Amino acid sequence: MKNLIGVFDSGIGGLSIIEKLREILPHETFLYYADSTNCPYGNKTTEELLDITSKIVNYLRDEGCKLIVIACNTATTKCLKRLRELFPDIILVGVVPAIKVACDNNYQNTLVLATPATIESERTSELIKDYKRKNQNIYLAPCEGLAYAIEQGKAQDVNSILDTVFKDYQDKDIDCIVLGCTHYPFIKNEIAKRLPEATLIDGSLGVAKEVKRQLEIHNLINSSTAEGTVYMVNSKSLPKES
C-alpha cells in the first residue's frame, strides 16, 4: 500500500475535483489518471465504459491506491454500481450531477448541463425522483461534444455548442445551473455569461467531503503533516495491452 488516492477521468476534467480534494485533504498524495486515449466518454455505451473503467480501477489498485475517485459524472452514473460489485475490496467514490444540492437549496428552475450519457442515465433519473419537490423544475441539457471541445481547447466549438444549448432556456427563469460534467468548471465564465442571474454549482465539494469521510471510517487518513502532491499519468503514455 503506497497510501495514494487514485483519481481518474477521460482527460483534464477530474482536475477540477483534485483541486477541491487537495483543499479538504492537504496531506494526501494523489495519482491522477487522465484517460486521453478514450476521451470523450460521453457518447460511449455502458458496456464500452465498463470495459474502460474496470481496466483503470485495476491499474490504480495495482499502483497501490487505498481509495479511487471516479472524477467523471459519465463514468459514475453509468458504471459505479457495477464497478462496486466487480471490485468489492476497494473503496470507490464517484461524482454525480449536484441535483440534490440544487433541490435542497430551494432553486425553482434548475438547468443540468452534462454529457448525453449522463443525462440519459438511470442514476440521473433517480436523483430527480429522490430530490425534486413538486414546485421545482429540472431541465436536462445534453451537451454533445462540449467536454471534447474543452479537452481540445477549442474555444470556438465551446461557444457554438453553448449558444445552441442555451437558446432553449432564455425564457425559463433559470436560477441554478448544475455543472454535471467535471470538464465544465473550466468554462464556468462562458456558461455564467449566458445566464448571469443563475447560480452555478458542481459536485466537487460533495465528493471531497465523501472521500474524507470514507478515509476516516476506514482509518486510512494519511498521518503525515507534510503537504501532499499529485502524480500524473496519461493513458497515452502507458504501454498498450496485448
Q: Which residues bind ligand DGL (CB under 6 A)?
A: 9-10, 13, 39-42, 72-74, 115, 118, 147, 181-183
HSE toward the beta carbon, residue 6, CA cutoff 13 A: 27
- Residue placing its CB nearer to ligand DGL in the complex, 66 or 183: 183
Query: Looking at beta carbons only, is 6 or 42 nearer to ligand DGL?
Result: 42
| Residue among 169 and 203 whose Cβ is closer to ligand DGL | 203
Q: What is the DSSP letter of 77?
A: H
Task: Name the minimum Å distance from CB 99 to ligand DGL.
Answer: 14
Say if residues 140 and 67 touch (Cβ distance below 8 Å): no
Which of 39, 65, 72, 103 is catalytic? The answer is 72
8 A C-beta contact, residue 65 and residue 222: no
Q: Which is nearer to ligand DGL, 81 or 172 (CB)?
A: 81
Choose between 28 and 35: whose C-beta lies nearer to ligand DGL.
35
CB of 122 to ligand DGL, least distance (A): 15
- Cβ-in-10-Å burial (0-12, 13-18, 19+) of 106 comes to exposed
Annotation marks residue 72 as catalytic: yes
Least CB distance to ligand DGL at residue 12 (A) = 8
* Shortest distance (Å) from residue 96 CB to ligand DGL: 9
Least Å from the CB of residue 177 to ligand DGL: 15
8 A C-beta contact, residue 139 and residue 174 = yes
Which is catalytic among the residues 79, 103, 176, 181?
A: 181
Is 176 designated active site?
no
Interior/surface letters 71-90, b for 16+ CB within 10 angstroms, e for the rest: bbbbbbbbbbeebeeeeeeb
For residues 67 and 63, give the distance between their C-alpha atoms in angstroms, rounded to a whole number.
11
109: Cα separation from own chain's centroid: 22
Q: Is the dihedral of CA 122, 178, 128, 67 positive or negative?
A: positive
Contacts (Cβ under 8 Å, ≥6 apart) of 37: 235, 236
Catalytic residue annotation: 72, 181
